[in-house]
Structure 1
Amino acid sequence: MRIAIAGASGRMGRMLIEAVTQSTDLKLTAALDIAGAPMLGQDATAFLGKLSGVLITDQLSALKQADCLIDFTRPEGSLEHLKACVTHGVNMVIGTTGFDDAGKAAISEAAKSVGIVFAPNMSVGVNATLKLLDMAARILNSGYDVEVFEAHHHHKVDAPSGTALKMGEVVADAWGKKLDDIAAWTRHGHTGARKPGEIGFSVVRGGDIVGDHTVYFCGVGERIEITHRSSSRAGYAEGSLRAARYLEGKKSGLFNMQTVLGL
């Protein structure tokens, strides 16, 4: 498969480029970055000490050389890339978070024309964790207070993280509820006693934390914690490649990582 990478100069972009070049069945054929990026015009794999012949560009027409684009950028950039993928018939793996309802609707509409895997977290381990959370929430469906904790590096611009939101949604769905109806997003001042059935969220931003997530089920006399910690972005990259492979041969459709992994 011919793979394009968005945000090629960034930390995640470089991790993806490295993962693609190390694979035996994928080939890097396009590397995108924003206009004015300092790495434009340079070889996409120069940071690895070798040359690929693929130059980093801000021209979306480069997508004509790819079968699938992997995108971990910002919502506004991903939506522009999405339009170009539809134009050129290129499938897309979207790991970007922070989309509003209009952005999510645009992704759903585009999936009528190209194959898309859209997930708040591409890590295989995180998606296994989501499955465990669903099981736990169905068992611990009364008498337990739920709190979703997440921590990320100080560069992250959205909060709570897309993964934390998905974890909350999994628990709410297992309880037959909508997350927006039972979420407690902030606490400040005299809040009063906690309401039964709430799902609380706690957020840390600091340093170079790649991504920590814990869901607490707090009962009387016991506490169950389900945790996933990322020590590098390699897990996100490998999951993204699995998602790209899943899309091979698909002409349309919107999928998530639970589907990709058969969960």
Structure 2
Amino acid sequence: MKLAIAGASGRMGRMLIESALAQPDAFELVVALDHSTSQSIGQDAGAFLGARTGVMITDDLQALASADCLIDFTRPEGTLEHLKVCVEHGVKVIIGTTGFDDAGKQAIQKAGESVAIVFAPNMSVGVNATLKLLEVAAKILASGYDVEVFEAHHKHKVDAPSGTALKMGEVIANAWDKPLDELATWTRHGHTGAREDGSIGFSVVRGGDIVGDHTVYFCGVGERIEITHRSTSRATYAQGSLRAARFLEDKPKGVYDMQAVLGL
């Protein structure tokens, strides 16, 4: 599969490049994209590894025409621009970008009518196994337990709560047959009053170089259940993305999530 990788000089972009280059029998890096102001434009995509790939980092989106699949972990506005070009050229897309508004999500669904897309807030296999565990726990603990979602990420993350935390809340709300927006408590400050039964609280930490920590608490009387996932490396997101790319090889169109990729 011929791969294009967006955000090629970023932390996640570099991890994706490294992971793809480590699987030469399955993937060929053909495009490395970055924004026009990046100092990496014109450099070899493998330079940070001391490797020569022959693929130069570019801001020319039309280069996507030579790829089978784009992997994109950038910003919503950038991802949507890339998506337009992918639809134009029939390129499959893996979207790990978070922070989309409703219009952005609708644009992704619309693009799925033309090309195959995996769109997930977290590409980690472990996180998606955790989501399945949360679904089971939420059904068992639907009464008599207060739910809180905690997440922590590095200081450079620009959206909050994280897409993964939101997905965790959505999984629990869906298990209770209710929309998350009706249940979510996003902030607490001052005299908040007693906690409302059936609500889902969210707490956020931003600091240092935390890759990603998520814990969901089911707090009952006399006991507490905690379901936790901690990421110590972006490699898990890269490996999940490559697994998603292989999943799309025989898919002509449609929007899929990682639960579909993993057969969950």
- Shorter-chain TM-score bucket reads over 0.9
Identity %: 75
Q: Following TM superposition, by how much is the alpha carbon of 1:166 offset from its aligned partner in structure 2, in angstroms?
A: 0.2
Q: What residue number does 1:233 align with? A: 234
Distance in 2 (CA, whole Å) between partners of 1:49 and 1:128 is 35
Distance in 2 (CA, whole Å) between partners of 1:242 and 1:101 is 27
Would you say 1:60 and 2:45 are equivalent positions?
Answer: no
Q: Following TM superposition, by how much is the alpha carbon of 1:251 offset from its aligned partner in structure 2, in angstroms?
A: 1.5
Q: What residue number does 2:18 align with? A: 18
How big is each residue's C-alpha offset from its partner over 1:129-185, in whole Å with a ceiling of 9 and x where there is no partner?
A: 000000000000100000000000000000000000000000000011110001000
Mapping 1:77-226, distance limit 5 Å: 77-226=78-227
**Runs of 4+ in structure 1 over 2 Å off:** none
Distance in 2 (CA, whole Å) between partners of 1:47 and 1:121 is 25
Q: Following TM superposition, by how much is the alpha carbon of 1:49 offset from its aligned partner in structure 2, in angstroms?
A: 1.0
How big is each residue's C-alpha offset from its partner over 1:215-236, in whole Å with a ceiling of 9 and x where there is no partner?
A: 0000000000000000010000
Distance in 1 (CA, whole Å) between partners of 2:252 and 2:99 is 26
Q: Following TM superposition, by how much is the alpha carbon of 1:197 offset from its aligned partner in structure 2, in angstroms?
A: 0.1
How big is each residue's C-alpha offset from its partner over 1:68-107, in whole Å with a ceiling of 9 and x where there is no partner?
A: 0000000000000000100111000000000000000000
Distance in 2 (CA, whole Å) between partners of 1:134 and 1:249 is 29
Q: What residue number does 2:6 align with? A: 6
Structure 1 unpaired stretches of 5+ = none
Distance in 2 (CA, whole Å) between partners of 1:64 and 1:164 is 34
Distance in 2 (CA, whole Å) between partners of 1:125 and 1:21 is 23
The CA RMSD measured in Å over matched residues stands at 0.5
Count of matched residue pairs: 263
AA matched with 1:118: F
Q: Following TM superposition, by how much is the alpha carbon of 1:249 offset from its aligned partner in structure 2, in angstroms?
A: 2.6
AA matched with 1:180: D
Q: Secondary structure at 2:151's aligned position in 1?
A: strand
Q: Secondary structure at 2:30's aligned position in 1?
A: strand
AA matched with 2:219: C
Q: What residue number does 1:74 align with? A: 75
Q: What residue number does 2:51 align with? A: 50
Q: Name the TM-score, length of structure 1 as normaliser.
A: 0.99
Distance in 1 (CA, whole Å) between partners of 2:217 and 2:177 is 19
Distance in 2 (CA, whole Å) between partners of 1:36 and 1:16 is 21
Distance in 2 (CA, whole Å) between partners of 1:131 and 1:244 is 21
Distance in 2 (CA, whole Å) between partners of 1:200 and 1:250 is 38
Distance in 1 (CA, whole Å) between partners of 2:250 and 2:144 is 47
Distance in 1 (CA, whole Å) between partners of 2:61 and 2:133 is 39
Structure 2 unpaired stretches of 5+ = none
Distance in 2 (CA, whole Å) between partners of 1:219 and 1:64 is 54
Q: Following TM superposition, by how much is the alpha carbon of 1:66 offset from its aligned partner in structure 2, in angstroms?
A: 0.5
Distance in 1 (CA, whole Å) between partners of 2:48 and 2:142 is 50
Distance in 1 (CA, whole Å) between partners of 2:129 and 2:255 is 20
Distance in 1 (CA, whole Å) between partners of 2:248 and 2:63 is 20
Q: Secondary structure at 1:63's aligned position in 2?
A: helix
